[in-house]
């Protein structure tokens, strides 16, 4: 009888240790997930600020380019200044598009992280 009690006690101790380890792993996973969520939220805020910062110069460049294209008669010419404006508009547009793509990816990752956190 004592032998059986020792076996049960040993197994109970092992199982308690396994549960404690599992609980510690879940706590660590939860902490890491919360940190990743916070980091991702900060990244999203920075991306949104970067997009807003690029929108005003883009609008200015587009307006300047449109004003140049609307010039009457002989003043409407294709020159290096117009080429520079076209390049500037293109570069700013590409930058905003890239930032927007990164923002969508970050928002998607944030949604996945929040779903993972709910599962924990």
- Inter-residue contact 111 to 37 (CB < 8 Å): no
Q: Give φ, ψ of 33 to 5 degrees.
A: -65, -45
Q: What is the CATH number of the domain that holds 85?
A: 1.10.287
Domain holding 11, by residue range, is 2-119
What are the tens digits of pLDDT across the range 46-84? 999 999 999 999 999 999 999 888 888 777 777 888 889
Task: Give residue 116's pLDDT band: very low, low, confident or very high (50, 70, 90).
Answer: confident
% of the chain with per-residue pLDDT over 90: 62
- Measure CA of the first residue to CA of the last residue in the chain; give whole Å: 41
Domain count, the chain: 1
**For residue 72, what pLDDT is reported?**
83
- pTM to 2 decimals? 0.74
């Amino acid at each position: 009888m004592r032998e059986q009690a020792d076996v049960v006690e040993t197994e109970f101790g092992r199982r308690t240790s396994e549960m404690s380890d599992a609980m510690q792993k879940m706590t660590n996973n939860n902490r890491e997930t919360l940190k990743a969520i916070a980091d991702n939220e900060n990244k999203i805020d920075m991306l949104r600020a970067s997009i807003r910062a690029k929108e005003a110069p883009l609008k200015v460049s587009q307006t300047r380019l449109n004003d140049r294209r609307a010039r009457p008669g002989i003043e409407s010419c294709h020159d290096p200044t117009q080429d520079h404006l076209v390049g500037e508009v293109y570069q700013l547009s590409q930058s905003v598009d890239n930032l927007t793509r990164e923002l969508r990816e970050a928002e998607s990752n944030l949604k996945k992280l929040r779903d993972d956190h709910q599962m924990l």
